[in-house]
């Protein structure tokens, strides 16, 4: 039986058209884009086209796109690259408390190096308050990094307003838009951001490739050195096949932006309506409106999220949970915690994330599985007698 895959914020299925675009570069077109001969030129042209496609999806100039090994590297590159370039007189970095670990841990490292890191709180829906940002900025601020859309709850931040506040104090603004691409329009000029992170595998592209939009003129110090690839901003021989895949995925996402998000939102809303009519004690975590329409973070009263994830997994349904039980201590999601959810409610939260591949029949079946699992766990309590499985190792959101 095919699994019902509802974990698309973690990763998405490779689009067959993306695979087809990549294949020649994994087989016969293996030239190094830096080589002068025909195979090299063909690879160089393919990377150029992909750069234009990625740039086109966010309204950027192709020269401002830096390919990386994924969203994590692009976040690291933006944070280390911009903060370190600001010099010793600018040691403050402002971010939010609900960022992806790729940003939070980069900020933590800067803190250990002597930077002053401010993590802004969020409201109960997961939104940064613009006034909090304005109050955190000082003359010595090197960078602001606030994510576009959260991976756990889907809340979208008022990026344009936040960037305006940062720029009023001459501070560069970076946003992690990994979860936003393909789900909501992104235009780097309208948003007026200086740096923006993307990842291919969240938009039906390959894993292990991403991009940083880095606006010309933004102070930046490369974190790795070597050959001059990517304008010296991220040297290393290009991962041509994956870059081609990312370009194709970005171009498909762009052309589908007028239809896919609406269809997915209708599916998600229909699912939530029917689920609420079938199962009681459900709360939606995150913003009811300004949110990614594909993502439902739901708390099931009295139901341990890990037990529910395992129970659904046994029924062939793939979702994620927001709490991780490692070595006997229960870790609550830092996002739900920052939103002020009680540990009890956070412990019962699962994330269901749809994509353009999701079909109503799968969601309908998931409701039946959820009804059975929730009833059993509520009746029996604890882990409902579910045998331990290898899948129990990790329930951290990605």
Active site residues: 325
For residue 100, CA distances in Å to 76, 239, 240 come to 11, 24, 27
Shortest Å, Cβ 209 to ligand PLP: 8
Among 8, 12, 72, 242, binds ligand PLP (CB under 6 A): 72
Q: Which residue carries 């599985």 as its tokens? A: 369
Which listed range, 66-74, 114-122, 127-135, 277-285, lies at the site for ligand PLP (CB under 6 A)?
66-74
Q: How far apart are CA 68 and CA 102, in angstroms?
A: 14
276 binds ligand PLP (CB under 6 A): no
141 binds ligand PLP (CB under 6 A): no
Shortest Å, Cβ 223 to ligand PLP: 15
User: Do residues 158 and 291 touch, judged by C-beta distance below 8 A?
Assistant: no
Residue 172, Cα to own-chain centre: how many angstroms? 21
Q: How far apart are CA 332 and CA 63, in angstroms?
A: 41
By C-beta, is 321 or 374 nearer to ligand PLP? 321
Q: How far apart are CA 334 and CA 323, in angstroms?
A: 9
Helix (H) or strand (E) holding 92: strand 92-96
Q: How far apart are CA 271 and CA 366, in angstroms?
A: 9
291 binds ligand PLP (CB under 6 A): no
396 binds ligand PLP (CB under 6 A): no
- Phi (first) and psi of residue 390, to 5 degrees: -60, -30
248 binds ligand PLP (CB under 6 A): no
Q: How far apart are CA 82 and CA 207, in angstroms?
A: 25
User: Do residues 369 and 317 touch, judged by C-beta distance below 8 A?
Assistant: yes
Among 102, 107, 317, 336, binds ligand PLP (CB under 6 A): 102
By C-beta, is 115 or 351 nearer to ligand PLP? 351
Shortest Å, Cβ 228 to ligand PLP: 24
By C-beta, is 98 or 279 nearer to ligand PLP? 98
Q: How far apart are CA 117 and CA 112, in angstroms?
A: 10
Shortest Å, Cβ 18 to ligand PLP: 15
By C-beta, is 75 or 260 nearer to ligand PLP? 75
Question: Under rule CB under 6 A, which residues in 165-204 are in contact with ligand PLP?
Answer: 176, 178-179, 199, 201
Which spans of this chain sit near ligand PLP (rule: CB under 6 A)? 70-72, 75, 100, 102, 147, 151, 176, 178-179, 199, 201, 210, 398
């Amino acid at each position: 039986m095919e699994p019902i895959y509802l974990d698309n914020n973690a990763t998405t299925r490779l689009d067959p058209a993306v695979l087809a675009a990549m294949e020649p570069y994994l087989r016969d077109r293996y030239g190094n884009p830096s080589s002068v001969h025909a195979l090299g030129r063909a690879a160089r042209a393919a990377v150029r086209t992909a750069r234009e496609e990625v740039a086109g999806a966010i309204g950027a100039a192709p020269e401002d796109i830096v390919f990386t090994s994924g969203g994590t590297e692009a976040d690291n590159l933006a944070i280390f690259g911009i903060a370190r370039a600001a010099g010793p007189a600018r040691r403050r970095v402002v971010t939010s408390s609900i960022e992806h670990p790729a940003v939070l841990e980069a900020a933590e490292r800067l803190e250990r190096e002597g930077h002053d890191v401010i993590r802004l709180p969020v409201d109960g829906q997961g939104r940064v308050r613009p006034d909090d940002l304005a109050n955190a900025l000082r003359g010595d601020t090197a960078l602001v990094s606030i994510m576009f859309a959260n991976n756990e709850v889907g809340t979208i931040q008022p990026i344009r307003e936040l960037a305006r506040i940062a720029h009023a104090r001459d501070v560069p603004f970076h946003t992690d838009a990994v979860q936003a691409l393909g789900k909501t329009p992104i235009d780097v000029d309208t948003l007026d951001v200086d740096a923006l992170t993307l990842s291919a595998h969240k938009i039906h592209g390959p894993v292990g490739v991403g991009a940083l939009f880095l606006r010309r003129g933004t102070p930046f110090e490369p974190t790795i050195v070597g050959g001059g690839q990517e304008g010296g901003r991220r040297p290393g021989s290009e991962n041509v096949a994956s870059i081609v895949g990312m370009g194709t995925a970005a171009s498909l996402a762009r052309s589908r932006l007028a239809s896919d998000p609406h269809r997915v939102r209708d599916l998600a809303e229909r699912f939530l309506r029917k689920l609420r009519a079938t199962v009681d004690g459900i709360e939606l975590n995150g913003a009811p409106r300004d949110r990614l329409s594909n993502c439902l973070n739901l708390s099931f009263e009295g139901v341990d999220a890990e037990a529910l994830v395992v129970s659904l997994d046994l029924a062939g349904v793939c979702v994620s949970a927001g709490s991780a039980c490692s070595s006997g201590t229960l870790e609550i999601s830092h996002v739900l915690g920052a939103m002020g959810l009680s540990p009890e409610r956070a412990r019962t939260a699962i994330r269901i994330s749809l994509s353009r591949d999701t079909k109503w029949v799968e969601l309908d079946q998931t409701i039946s599985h959820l009804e059975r699992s929730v009833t059993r766990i509520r009746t029996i309590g604890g882990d409902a007698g579910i045998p331990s499985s290898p899948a129990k190792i990790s329930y951290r959101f990605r």
